Amino acid sequence: MIFQLHPRLKQDTLFVMDLALSQLLLMNDERFPWLILVPRRTAVSEITELAPAEQNQLLSEIVALSKMLKQTYDADKINIAALGNIVPQLHVHVIARYKTDSAWPSAVFGFQKSIAYSPEKAMVAIEKVKSVVSNFLEILS
Amino acid sequence: MIFQLHPRLKQDTLFVMDLALSQLLLMNDERFPWLILVPRRTAVSEITELAPAEQNQLLSEIVALSKMLKQTYDADKINIAALGNIVPQLHVHVIARYKTDSAWPSAVFGFQKSIAYSPEKAMVAIEKVKSVVSNFLEILS
């Protein structure tokens, strides 16, 4: 079976790039620098369903993105979550949070209405993630 | 410096046991089987601040608890999250979710008012976690 992104993730996000294990997506919500990792595996909804080596790779990717958001995006706090109550395909949120953001200190999941990027802003945001993620190399395939 | 649990975590949770890296706590909220891992390290608020070996150990503990909640607690979905916007001490939520629980499919963080266990129910809940967690041995110190 070929990996296919869940339609809801496809609808809500912008594709950034493929990492060693996961597809890296940007949530289409300009309120928060909000990244999503989707391991390119079929029929997996829990981290426990990944092979141990894949779990470790996912951890590496989470850690790399967290460092990136902390250092390059000057986040006050990183929020990491694997929920999947609505979209069963395994995906991990890695979000830069700021004491000044509109949801702080609440979690962002389901927080009011998302604000989609304009096409121009989307391109800038995607390019920024792409260019800085390559400084956190060990995660790239 | 000696590890000390953040006062807010102390207030909101019940102590279960020490694992190899983390203190294992039960959220004092009978609405959800809600476990919390707190690595016994001082002045750490992000996963990236743990040493790589500690990150791997934390992953092992998360995976073990997830398996436990899935298998023994028959969870429909496991929710895993490291947020820390309110309590800066690094802690990871591992929560058994059910399609029939009161918050489904929303996240449980900040969802309405918690319902504390009665002393009797707390004892039963803690003993249950303790007895089943030892079947997931590799995480114990």
Mark yes or no for CB contact B104/A85 under 8 Å. yes
Q: Determine the distance from the C-alpha atom of residue A12 to the mean position of all C-alpha atoms in its chain, rounded to a whole number.
A: 12
Q: Determine the distance from the C-alpha atom of residue B114 to the mean position of all C-alpha atoms in its chain, rounded to a whole number.
A: 15
A43 within some domain: yes
B130 within some domain: yes
- Give the residue on A whose Cα is nearest the Cα of B57: A56
pTM of the predicted model over 0.90: yes
Mean pLDDT of A112-124: 97
Secondary structure letter of residue A118 according to DSSP:
P
B50 interfaces chain A, CB cutoff of 8 Å: no
From B72's Cα to the closest Cα of chain A, the distance in A is: 14
B37 interfaces chain A, CB cutoff of 8 Å: no
Domain that holds residue B21: 7-140
B1 within some domain: no
Mean pLDDT of A104-121: 97
Task: Assess contact for B88 and B6: CB atoms under 8 A.
Answer: yes
B2 within some domain: no
Q: How confident is the model at residue A137 (pLDDT cuts 50, 70, 90)?
A: low
Q: Determine the distance from the C-alpha atom of residue B86 to the mean position of all C-alpha atoms in its chain, rounded to a whole number.
A: 16
A1 within some domain: no
Q: Any idea what the CATH number is for the domain that residue A126 is in?
A: 3.30.428.10
State residue A139's pLDDT score: 55
Residue A141's identity, in one-letter code, is S
Burial B59-94 (b: 16+ CB within 10 A, else e): bbbbbbbbbbbbebeebebbbbbbbbbebebbbbbb
- Give the residue on B whose Cα is nearest the Cα of A55: B59
Token code pair at residue B125: 């809940």
B46 within some domain: yes
Mean pLDDT of A105-122: 97
* pLDDT surpassing 90 at residue B138: no
Model confidence over B43-78: pLDDT tens digits? Answer: 999 999 999 999 999 999 999 999 999 999 999 999
Q: Determine the distance from the C-alpha atom of residue A57 to the mean position of all C-alpha atoms in its chain, rounded to a whole number.
A: 15
A114 within some domain: yes
Count of domains for chain B: 1
A2 within some domain: no
**Average pLDDT value for chain B:** 95
Helix (H) or strand (E) holding A84: none
Rounded to whole angstroms, the Cα distance separating A137 from A17 reads 13
Q: The complex's ipTM?
A: 0.96
